Structure 1
């Protein structure tokens, strides 16, 4: 009889846990959270759903785009690449408060480099949301004087001076090397930078994918209202109001005030443990401080040490598997290649 009672208690406990987990999964979905797409066709479908026009993806484009993402000759100096500020070995960021570009110039608005990991799934690009697609976004840093400082014509001239690139572009694009095609190839590569995590397994119905502590953190994250802005497939990536309930203590670091309406692109929380420092101006270096600051600035609440720790436990479950990227061998410069300008 005693064994029967023990077995019954175990079964009841397991059933309660399963029901609780299912309720948490439902709450996460109701809050707008969702799993990463598993294929490029699913990426296309999701982008259309959130109002973003996808580019036409091919593996060949992505391979070319990988080279261009890592190609330093796309910068005027010949020493800066997309990977300089969006280092794939550093969570797609650079690990400094404000991006540093051409001639060691810090971003004039003291803006932090957002991650390129999963960035294709943002509904908007740049902190002020001025670009709708990755193609538009890719053109910006290449041409911006404080970043790569390369006019479109120079970028095309550099790539067009390298026969191996010219041949590759001709195979993929009817019109060969153009600035639009350079950006399209880079955007195609960035489409592959998806980082599936155990959170995605949980959202897919694998209820034991998260630990007890991570599930508790997810519940705290939802209950506290964090998912109001950090929602969707990227747990961020859309334009949201900032300083909703209070003043950001480091608002005077840089002069960025958002778009014309004071809206700011909410950063993705995927791989957030790897992308310090935080906020648009990189003024906060720890997740604990970032979580507590969000509570006061955005939600008008005090998040305790215990609650912050719980939420951080969940955030760790968003660390995903970063695609293995092999470093390419670039074609040698030719006599036609425009010289670097330091």
Structure 2
């Protein structure tokens, strides 16, 4: 009484249990050591096998386009020329400020006599890579785009006859035009010079471009994960290629009715419908390129999204049908901030 009956087999059973526990411990330890080296829980991109050539985004060329530099110089002068407006107060550079990402950072731009426009001014940087110009795509070329603001009564409020008359009174313009164009100062030549300058406004060598070219340390882990989310959630379906957009049309409000939930409908909200009168084009816009996006707020055609966080959340909801978490938004925004490039060899 008071003694436990221990069978002869009990010690061997305990030995097996102990040996098994030791084996499991060592197995887990070495497995953890192996995988922690092969795949860190928060890997820097340089741990990863990555081929930029297989990616849906293409880096901008490091060398500027082969352009007639005489036209570039003349176009730059005209881009900043107030005489293009009726009251000599507005130039192309008024709404497309090169020191502010190619925009004016306003919801709507101001035209002559302080008139307020009805749509957010897109960036002029890398605009030569867009397949169409304007939010509704009504201009096929940069030359055609220039015709719009000059003749718009709310923007420059002028006419080509008035602009040409002003420029002809300036001897320096007469000399410059005649040295480049056989027919001197014409509307077509003014458009051509400005458009040539605008085609020179490329911004290569962003940190993400460097990453695509093989510099795995150009971006951080968070930025890399943001890019993976950008792809896996479907943002990449509209924002890809050399300009990370600017090469197709898309409806704003694919998954949910953006305009039904966001106030009174105005003409600018109609998108391509204004041009085509096809009901299927209602609320369809040219997808904007995302290069230098961190500098070009406020966002969307209506300038309703003040920050990158705001516009990513809106896109997730209305375009993808996703309720993105704050962490997702933070990582995607971190990626978007890697898209800021350089102009004339200097960071924007």
For 1:92 and 1:26, the matched residues in 2 are separated by 28
Note the 1:175-194 alignment, pairs <5 A: 175-194=183-202
Moved over 4 A (4+): 7-19
Q: Which runs of 5+ in 1 are unaligned?
A: 1-6, 43-56, 326-342
Structure 1 residue 296, shift from structure 2 partner? 0.9
TM-score by length of 2: 0.80
Asked if 1:39 is matched to 2:39, the reply is: no
User: Could you say which residue in structure 2 is the equivalent of 1:320?
Assistant: 341
User: Could you say which residue in structure 2 is the equivalent of 1:250?
Assistant: 262
Q: Which runs of 5+ in 2 are unaligned?
A: 1-32, 274-280
Asked if 1:90 is matched to 2:100, the reply is: yes
Structure 1 residue 8, shift from structure 2 partner? 9.1
Structure 1 stretch displaced more, 174-183 or 244-253: 244-253
Match of 1:305 among 305, 309, 326: 326
For 2:39 and 2:302, the matched residues in 1 are separated by 47
For 1:189 and 1:286, the matched residues in 2 are separated by 30
Note the 1:21-170 alignment, pairs <5 A: 21-22=49-50, 25=52, 29=55, 32-41=56-65, 57-107=67-117, 110-170=118-178
Q: In 1, are the aligned partners of 2:78 and 2:194 still within 8 Å (CA)?
A: yes
Structure 1 residue 20, shift from structure 2 partner? 2.6
Quote the RMSD (CA, aligned, Å).
Answer: 2.6
- Cα shift readout 1:88-117 (whole Å, capped 9, x = no counterpart): 11111111111210111112xx20000101
- Give 3-state SS (helix, strand or coil) of 2:175's partner: helix
User: Could you say which residue in structure 2 is the equivalent of 1:259?
Assistant: 272
User: Could you say which residue in structure 2 is the equivalent of 1:286?
Assistant: 307
Q: In 2, are the aligned partners of 1:156 and 1:177 still within 8 Å (CA)?
A: yes
Structure 1 stretch displaced more, 185-194 or 13-22: 13-22
In the superposition, relative to structure 1, how do residues 155 and 202 fare at CA in structure 2: closer, same or farther (>3 Å)? same
Structure with bigger gyration radius:
2
In the superposition, relative to structure 1, how do residues 34 and 324 fare at CA in structure 2: closer, same or farther (>3 Å)? closer
- Cα shift readout 1:261-320 (whole Å, capped 9, x = no counterpart): 132011121111111111001011011111010011111111111000000000110011
Pairs aligned (count)? 301
